Amino acid sequence: MLTRFLLIGKVQIGLAIIGLFTLTAILGPWFSRNVLEMTPQQVDYLHLNGGPPDSTHWLGTTSQGQDVLSWMLYGTRTSMLVGFASAVIGTFLTIVIGAWAGFAGGLIDRFLNGTILVFGNFPTFALLFIVAAAFQNANWVLVSIVIGGIEWAGGARQIRAQTMSLRGRDFTTALRTVGESRARIILVEVMPHLLGVISPMFLGLIAAGVNQQAALAFLGIGNPSEPSWGLMINWAMTQNALFRGLWWWFIPPGLALCLIGFATTMVNFGLDEITNPTLSSKRMKLMRIFLRDKARPASPTRQKEMATR
């Protein structure tokens, strides 16, 4: 299941995009300091009013003479950190609560399932906004915790359903009669079966985290000393980049957000093609080729047929 998932072209494109950003997040700030020899805070007094991309500032400068590329490289780190941290937290909650509810059954399941439903019905962003806004200058750790703590419900439902079906199967029943502990059965025996569900879920949570953080930062929530894509767009907007036409300031961070979103859409489409083979675009293509190849030799008889009628 997992290997089939990874073999789909769309999934590979999605993974490649996320991988590329992860790499940038790891190496970007180092590159900025040592190769570009710039940091986001550093001001270039020759470009105080914001200049278009040139050989020193590859992506131009902001209205305060700060290097946009340097901002992007550092911003990628914050954005991806929030994405990964919130995804780890969210996935952890998803697995623990989902698997626990599915495996325990009875009262515990009813309670946990109720919790899952309540969280699943919250308008996520509204809740996120009030909670994050309550803490002034919330840093990335806090933002990640809040995002991860709110975004787990959808996945937990799936895990719960999966675990419930696994619980009924012979091998788990056998293990329970042998006297294996519940935690061990969940971790060692059930979890591997759930990897196919969990991995795309994790990818989805990364992108959701990145986007939620960007939206929050865009609204001015978060720590202004942590450069992020959302913060860049917020500053560009509040400092009249639109009026002054400093497009190089707000286009790169938005494009990065688009790419992250695009990556998840690709992964989800790939996932759909596995669970519902009629959606497989590969099959559609094969079918088209088959019909076309078949049509060619058949056409003379077709024409004869038409002529006789």
Partner 1 sequence: MTLTTVPKNLETESEIIERLENSSTLLDVRGLCVDYVTEAGNIRACDDINLTLKRGEILGVAGESASGKSTLLNALGRLQRMPAATSAGEIRFHPTDGTESLDLAALTEDELRPYRWTKISVVMQSAMASLNPVIRLGEQFTDVIRTHDPRLTQEQARDQAADLLTMVGISADRLTAFPFQLSGGMQQRALIALSLACDPDLVLMDEPTTAVDVVMQRQILDQVLAAQERLGFAVVFVTHDLSLLLEISDRIAIMYGGKIVEIGTAARLHDSAKHPYTRALRRAFPPLSEPVRRLSGISGSPPDLLDLPPGCAFAPRCESAMAICHQRVPELRDVPDGRSACFLSNGELSESELTQQLPATSNPGPSSRPAEGGDHQ
Partner 2 sequence: MTEPAPIDALGSAASTQRPAEASDDGPTSGRRRPTARSSRLAGLVYLRQRLTMYLIVAFASVLVNFILPRFMPGDPATQMIRDITNRTGAPPSGYQTRMIKARYGDPERPVLLQFWDYISRLVQGDLGQSSQYYPIPVTELIGRALPWTLYLAIVSTILGWMIGTYLGARLGWRPGRRLDAILTPVSMFFSSIPAFWLGLLIVWYLAYSNGWFPNQGAYNNSLEIDFSDPDFYLSALYHGALPLVTLIIVGFARWLFSMRNMMITTVNEDYVQLARAKGLPENRIRNRYAARNALLPNFTGLAQSMGGALTAVILAETVFIYPGIGSLLTGAQAARDYPVMQGVMLMVIFASLLFNFIADSVYVLLDPRTREVT
> 31 contacts which partner out of partner 2, partner 1, none, CB within 5 to 8 A by kind?
none
Candidates 8, 185, 205, 233: give the one binding partner 2 (CB under 8 A).
233
Residue 215 engages partner 2 in binding (rule: CB under 8 A): yes
Helical H segments across the chain, by residue range: 2-7, 9-31, 68-104, 106-121, 124-134, 140-150, 153-167, 170-178, 182-184, 191-218, 229-238, 241-244, 247-275, 281-308
Q: DSSP states of 75-138 as a string?
A: HHHHHHHHHHHHHHHHHHHHHHHHHHHHHH-HHHHHHHHHHHHHHHHS-HHHHHHHHHHHSTT-
Tell which one of 110, 169, 184, 302 touches partner 1 (CB under 8 A).
302
Is residue 9 part of the contact set for partner 1 (CB under 8 A)? Answer: no
Q: Identify which range of 82-90, 178-186, 281-289, 301-309 contacts partner 2 by CB under 8 A.
A: 281-289
Site for partner 2 in 1-20 (CB under 8 A): 1
Does residue number 104 form part of the binding site for partner 2 (CB under 8 A)? Answer: no
Q: How far is the CB of 304 from partner 1 (least distance, A)?
A: 9
Residue 236: Cβ-neighbour burial (10 angstroms; 0-12, 13-18, 19+) = buried
Q: By rule CB under 8 A, what count of residues binds partner 2?
A: 65
294 binds, among partner 2, partner 1, none (CB under 5 to 8 A by kind): partner 1
Rounded distance, CA 183 to CA 126, Å?
35
- Cα 119–123–238 angle (5° rounding)? 135
Token pair for residue 24?
């940038």
Q: Is 257 in the site for partner 2 (CB under 8 A)?
A: yes
Tokens representing residue 221 in the block: 């929530």
Q: How far is CA 186 from CA 12, 104, 148, in A?
A: 29, 11, 22
Judged by CB under 8 A, which of 107, 126, 178, 291 binds partner 1?
A: 291
The least CB distance from residue 3 to partner 2, in Å, is 13
Distance separating alpha carbons of residues 139 and 145, to the nearest angstrom: 10
Which residue bears the tokens 């997040």? Answer: 25
At residue 53, the 3 state secondary structure works out as coil
259 binds partner 2 (CB under 8 A): yes
Q: Please pick, from the candidates 155, 283, 296, 307, the single residue that binds partner 1 as defined by CB under 8 A.
A: 283
Nearer to partner 1, 132 or 271 (CB): 271
Select from partner 1, partner 2, none the partner in contact with residue 291, using the beta carbon and a kind-dependent cut-off of 5 to 8 Å. partner 1
Out of 31, 58, 125, 202, point to the residue binding partner 2 (CB under 8 A): 125
Contacting range for partner 2; rule: CB under 8 A; set: 87-95, 130-138, 141-149, 183-191 = 130-138
Backbone angles phi, psi at 61, to 5 degrees: -125, 160
Task: Let me know: does 53 contact 59? Beta carbons within 8 Å.
Answer: yes
Q: Distance between alpha carbon 149 and the CA centroid of its chain, in Å?
A: 16
Which residues here bind partner 1, judged by CB under 8 A? Answer: 278, 280, 282-284, 286-287, 290-291, 294, 298, 301-302, 305, 308-309
Which residues here bind partner 2, judged by CB under 8 A? Answer: 1, 114, 117-118, 120-123, 125-127, 129-131, 133-136, 154, 157-158, 161-162, 165, 196-197, 211, 214-215, 218-221, 233, 236-237, 242-243, 245, 247, 250-251, 253-254, 257-262, 264-266, 269, 272, 274-276, 278-279, 281, 284-285, 287-288
